[in-house]
């Protein structure tokens, strides 16, 4: 069966399946889901735990043999597999064997990153879903983040103004682990006090994380302030410039695609923006002096309808 995070809690309260697959790139939520499974297993007498971290080049035969060995102490046990790389054909077969091997005295817990479309169709994933539960963990969308933070505040005994939650969402977007840590720190810094924007500013760091897709979306929608914030975040995280430039040009195409056939003036403006993109690419490759990140910021300004510094001939 497929379960959401909320449904997992309800399912665990009713029964413990022999197999749980938890996938996703959000460490906090995936970790909490795995903790919930472990806690329920302990409550039901699964006192032994084996952990295998599986990377590229893992000897799957030895893992399968170790997991299939009967417990030395004749106790119920949890076999936990942490997949750090795609299992491949050999690993997939080993996983299928282990999934079949799980029973009332052996719980198999598989924790992995986000599964792409091909991986979701793998036989071992389908076997895990059929024998037990597959919990796919997804990031919290930006528009839902303040509500998520408000729920976390309640769990910690905190009260916060809506503006404070919005600010904290902005400073921790894409990084739920940092958001949770900041809330715990704020509880220590301001015990019994209602959180407002000043306290959030005083007590937290900017821990937001972004991906290039968010940059394309912001530029395509003409959201300049967000585009510049995402661009700055990508620079701070050291994202490679060619990937960022691809996102910018994708945003340009999306922006132009919604404006209908270009007028002569629009074509001239588009040509100027393309020239800025070419300049940024040349700067990134060291063929032209200048700061490619600044050039991309100027391109974003012009694309979103704000005047920028004129182009300077190389």
Task: For the domain made up of 2-136, give the CATH fold.
Answer: Rossmann fold (3.40.50)
- DSSP for 241-254, written as a single string: HHHHHHHHHHHHHH
Quick: pLDDT tens for 226-257.
Answer: 888 888 888 888 888 888 888 888 888 887 87
Bridge partners (DSSP) listed for residue 79? 50, 108
Quick: pLDDT tens for 293-303.
Answer: 999 998 888 88
pTM: 0.68
CA–CA–CA angle 120, 218, 293 (5° rounding): 105
CATH code of the region 142-203: 1.10.8.60
Quick: pLDDT tens for 24-62.
Answer: 988 899 999 999 999 999 999 998 888 888 888 778 888
- Distance from C-alpha of 158 to C-alpha of 191, rounded to nearest angstrom: 8
Cβ-contact 227, 308 below 8 angstroms: no
Q: What mean pLDDT do residues 187-205 have?
A: 87
Cβ-contact 51, 112 below 8 angstroms: no
- Distance from C-alpha of 11 to C-alpha of 31, rounded to nearest angstrom: 17
Q: Would you give the DSSP letter of residue 103?
A: B
């Amino acid at each position: 069966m497929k379960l959401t995070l909320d449904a997992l809690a309800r399912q665990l309260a009713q029964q413990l399946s022999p197999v749980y697959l938890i996938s996703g790139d959000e460490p906090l939520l995936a970790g909490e889901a795995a903790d919930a499974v472990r806690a329920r297993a302990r409550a039901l007498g699964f006192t032994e735990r084996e952990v295998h971290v599986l990377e590229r080049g893992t000897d799957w035969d030895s893992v399968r043999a170790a997991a299939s060995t009967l417990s030395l102490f004749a106790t119920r046990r949890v076999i936990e597999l942490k997949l750090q790389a795609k299992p491949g054909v050999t690993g997939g077969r080993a996983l299928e064997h282990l999934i079949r091997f799980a029973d009332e005295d052996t719980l198999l817990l598989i924790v992995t990153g986000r599964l792409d479309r091909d991986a979701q169709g793998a036989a071992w994933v389908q076997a895990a879903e059929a024998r037990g539960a597959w919990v796919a963990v997804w990031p919290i969308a930006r528009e839902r983040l303040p509500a998520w933070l408000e729920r976390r505040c309640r769990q910690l005994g905190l009260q916060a103004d809506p503006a404070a939650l919005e600010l904290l969402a902005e400073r921790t977007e894409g990084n739920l682990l940092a958001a949770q840590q900041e809330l715990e720190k704020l509880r220590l810094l301001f015990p019994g006090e209602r959180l407002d924007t000043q306290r959030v500013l005083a007590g937290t760091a900017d821990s937001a994380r972004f991906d290039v897709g968010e940059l394309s979306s912001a530029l395509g929608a003409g959201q300049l302030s967000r585009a510049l914030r995402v661009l700055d975040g990508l620079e701070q995280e050291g994202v490679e410039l060619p990937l960022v430039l691809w996102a910018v040009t994708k945003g340009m195409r999306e922006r132009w695609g919604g404006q209908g056939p270009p007028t002569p003036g629009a074509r001239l403006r588009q040509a100027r923006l393309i020239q800025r993109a070419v300049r940024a690419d040349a700067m990134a490759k060291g063929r032209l002096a200048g700061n490619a990140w600044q050039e991309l910021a100027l391109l974003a300004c012009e694309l979103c309808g704000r005047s920028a510094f004129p182009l300077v001939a190389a």
